[in-house]
Amino acid sequence: MTIGIGLLGLGTVGAGVAGILATPSGRHPLVAELDLRRVAVRDLTRLRPVELAAELLTTNPEAVVDDPAVDIVVEVMGGLEPARSLILRAIAAGKPVVTANKAVIARYGEEIAAAAAEQGVYVLIEAAVGGGIPIIEPLKQSLGANRIQRVSGIINGTTNYILSRMAAEGAAYADVLAEAQRLGYAEADPAADVQGGDAADKIAILAGLAYGGSVPRAAIPTEGIDRLEARDVAYAAQLGYVVKLLAVAQAMPNLNQGAEQLLDVRVHPTLLPKAHPLAGVNGVNNAILVEGDPVGQVMFYGPGAGAGPTASAVVADILNIAGIRQATAGSAKPPLDPLLAAGSWRACRLVDSAETTHRNYVRLRTSDEAGVIGKIGTCFGEAGVSIQSIVQFETQSAGDAEIVVITHDVCEANFRQALAAIEALADVQAVAACLRTL
């Protein structure tokens, strides 16, 4: 049973997919039944890493979606539009969709899922998070017995590369970013990566699957690494931590016992104890730690980006659709497999961040006077913020001191109140850095 594949986009990922389909030997035998029938490109004349018959190519992506020989539409063009419209067009035509487009899924996932449910087609998105790491399908198909307590991940390779080098070399953020751009690990406009937006897209998707409900992407508190100073990475190391850009989605107790799941979802640089499973994830690798009852902690690790890994995930999705097509071959309009389709099954709501509790790392620039630590400690104490450690670090400039405080798990509102009081102290020149701590 040959299955016709239509490809929207022939960039690095698209070329990777085409390359796999063209070389089925040694892969799962279903790969040999996938037939690439139409490919939408921007420019017909560009040289490509993969050889394709000229008649496959078109500059009209709608022609790919509409082609009756195309059974599955694979969207790897990226960007919000026309990707979103093309996905919806494929669904409307009753064609299953595979997409690597985290931005579209994070923003229009509800719209797309509703359309897919109505038409009874699958929209699979393994490549949208974690590159080649199987994480979407395991969340959908292997962890359903669990009450998920927390999903936390290093899910942006660019920032992890930058942070790994900052930690290894004591280098400044701007220098490493420039180097990463030169090496192709960071884009010319790095904003989506370094400001945390890409990680927020991905945690919105993971949280939606882990908790069975749509998460409002725009409401996710997001902090990037673009204001992170090398000294905080160095101080963290001295205190036994590494700094990672963590995306976290955590279940909160719902006090009014509604069916609604309260979630604390956020993206921010985070101090991880060196023994934490995510602390050793370096370079462009990604890892996602899922904590659930009764499974405990499971972690998924691997290359978070790149043509090969991402294409591996895209083709896995195509194979899953091909597999279920075989299983339902006798049926004209078969019902969806609820695990593979992964529809919403409860409402999720983000908590007010003031109500969340976290451990915090705070770096204060103060005058080097006796009694400063006492005054700072008093401010924390009066706000009900209990402290794990206060350490004074030496600075270059005479008369100044740097004090690093690590708190216990404290209520965000109390912590902010303490910081306001500390900022008002005459001896405190600035709250120079404030990071979350696991």
Give the active site residues: 202
One residue of 78, 283, 308, 377 binding a second copy per CB under 8 A:
308
Burial 154-173 (b: 16+ CB within 10 A, else e): bbbbbbbbbbbbbbeeebeb
Interatomic CA distance for residues 359 and 303, integer angstroms? 29
Write out the two tokens for 244.
């990672």
Residue 277 found at the interface with a second copy (CB under 8 A)? yes
| CA 71 centroid distance within chain | 29
One residue of 16, 61, 153, 208 binding a second copy per CB under 8 A:
16
Residue 324 found at the interface with a second copy (CB under 8 A)? yes
One residue of 309, 360, 376, 390 binding a second copy per CB under 8 A:
309
Long-range own/partner contacts, residues 45-48 (CB < 8 A, 24 or more apart) = 48/10, 48/15
Q: Which is nearer to a second copy, 73 or 135 (CB)?
A: 135
Three-state secondary-structure class, residue 391: strand
Write out the two tokens for 221.
């508190």
Give me the sign of the Cα torsion angle 373, 376, 377, 378: positive
Residue 345 found at the interface with a second copy (CB under 8 A)? yes
Q: Which stretch binds a second copy (CB under 8 A): 109-117, 303-311, 411-419, 429-437?
A: 303-311
E strands within 240-336?
A: 241-252, 261-273, 285-293, 296-303
Q: How many CB atoms lie within 10 A of CB 32?
A: 13
Interatomic CA distance for residues 200 and 389, integer angstroms? 30
CA dihedral 63, 69, 75, 80 (to 10 degrees): 30
Span 100-159, contacts to a second copy by CB under 8 A: 126, 132-134, 137-138, 141-147
Residue 319 found at the interface with a second copy (CB under 8 A)? yes
Q: Which stretch binds a second copy (CB under 8 A): 88-96, 152-160, 312-320, 381-389?
A: 312-320
Residues in contact with a second copy, counted by CB under 8 A, come to a total of: 65
Q: Which is nearer to a second copy, 269 or 309 (CB)?
A: 309
Residue 207 found at the interface with a second copy (CB under 8 A)? no
Q: How many CB atoms lie within 10 A of CB 363?
A: 20
Q: Which is nearer to a second copy, 196 or 302 (CB)?
A: 302
Write out the two tokens for 387.
């402290």
Residue 302 found at the interface with a second copy (CB under 8 A)? yes
Residue 313 found at the interface with a second copy (CB under 8 A)? yes
One residue of 4, 11, 19, 377 binding a second copy per CB under 8 A:
19
Three-state secondary-structure class, residue 102: helix
Residue 264 found at the interface with a second copy (CB under 8 A)? no
Q: Which is nearer to a second copy, 23 or 367 (CB)?
A: 23
Q: Which is nearer to a second copy, 110 or 368 (CB)?
A: 110
Binding site for a second copy (CB under 8 A): 16, 19-20, 26-31, 126, 132-134, 137-138, 141-147, 212, 277, 280, 292-303, 306-309, 311-316, 319-320, 323-324, 326-331, 334-340, 345
